Amino acid sequence: MLKIYSGILGLSVLAATACSSNSGSTTVKSTDLSVTETSANAAFKDTLNGKEINLYELTNNQNAKATFTNYGGRLVGLIVPDKAGKLTDVVVGFGSIADYLKSTEPYFGATIGRYGNRIAKGKFTLDGVEYTSSLNNGKNSLHGGKNGYQNVVWDAVQPDKSTIVFTYLSKDGEEGYPGNLKVKVTYSLTNDNELKMEYEATTDKKTIVNLTNHAFFNLNGEGSGTILNHVVQIYADTYTPVDEGLIPLGTLPSVKGTPFDFTSPAAIGARVNQNDIQLKNGKGYDHNFVLNQVGRKGLIHGATVVGDLSGIQMDIYTEEPGLQFYSGNFMKGNNTFKNGSKDDYRTAFAMETQHFPDSPNQVGFPSTVLNPGEKYHTVSIYKFSVK
CATH number reported for the structural domain that contains residue 204 in this entry: 2.70.98.10
Judge if 210 and 288 occupy the same domain. Answer: yes
How many angstroms separate the Cα of 74 from the Cα of each of 83, 93, 107, 187, 243? Answer: 27, 9, 9, 10, 30
Judge if 79 and 129 occupy the same domain. Answer: no
Judge if 76 and 186 occupy the same domain. Answer: no
Judge if 382 and 321 occupy the same domain. Answer: yes
Judge if 225 and 235 occupy the same domain. Answer: yes
Active-site positions read 214, 352
Per-residue pLDDT at 24: 31
Per-residue pLDDT at 40: 58
In a domain, 135, yes or no: yes
> Would you say residue 31 has pLDDT above 60?
no
> Would you say residue 193 has pLDDT above 50?
yes
Per-residue pLDDT at 297: 74
Judge if 155 and 239 occupy the same domain. Answer: no
Range of the structural domain that residue 36 is part of: 12-94+151-165
Single out the residue of 344, 359, 334 nearest to residue 116, CA to CA.
Answer: 359
In a domain, 5, yes or no: no
Percent of the chain with pLDDT over 90: 87
Judge if 204 and 338 occupy the same domain. Answer: yes
The DSSP element (H or E) to which 165 belongs, if any, is strand 163-170
Q: Using DSSP, state whether 169 is helix, strand or coil.
A: strand
The DSSP element (H or E) to which 377 belongs, if any, is strand 376-386
Q: Which pLDDT band holds residue 19 (cuts at 50, 70, 90)?
A: very low
Judge if 143 and 73 occupy the same domain. Answer: no
Contact of 356 with 365, CB cutoff 8 Å: yes
CA 205 to chain centre: 27
Per-residue pLDDT at 17: 30
Domains held by the chain: number: 2
Judge if 137 and 72 occupy the same domain. Answer: no
Q: Which pLDDT band holds residue 147 (cuts at 50, 70, 90)?
A: very high
Per-residue pLDDT at 21: 30
- What average pLDDT does this structure show over 127-148? 97
Judge if 65 and 131 occupy the same domain. Answer: no
Per-residue pLDDT at 39: 56
Please give the Cα distance from 72 to 56 (Å, whole number).
Answer: 13
pLDDT tens digits, residue range 34-78? 222 445 578 999 999 999 999 999 999 999 999 999 999 999 999
Per-residue pLDDT at 298: 86
Q: What is the CA radius of gyration of the chain?
A: 20
Q: Indicate the Cα dihedral angle 187, 154, 333, 42, nearest 10°.
A: -100
Judge if 74 and 125 occupy the same domain. Answer: no
Where is average pLDDT lowest: 183-192, 296-305, 365-374?
Answer: 296-305
In a domain, 231, yes or no: yes
pLDDT tens digits, residue range 69-94? 999 999 999 999 999 999 999 999 99
Where is average pLDDT lowest: 138-147, 290-299, 325-334?
Answer: 290-299
Mean pLDDT, the chain, as a whole number? 91
Judge if 45 and 142 occupy the same domain. Answer: no
Q: Which pLDDT band holds residue 120 (cuts at 50, 70, 90)?
A: very high
Percent of the chain with pLDDT over 70: 90
Entry pTM: 0.91
Is the N-terminal amide bond of 346 cis, ω within 30° of 0?
no
pLDDT tens digits, residue range 249-272? 999 999 999 999 999 999 999 999
Where is average pLDDT lowest: 23-27, 149-153, 169-173, 291-295?
Answer: 23-27
- What average pLDDT does this structure show over 327-350? 97
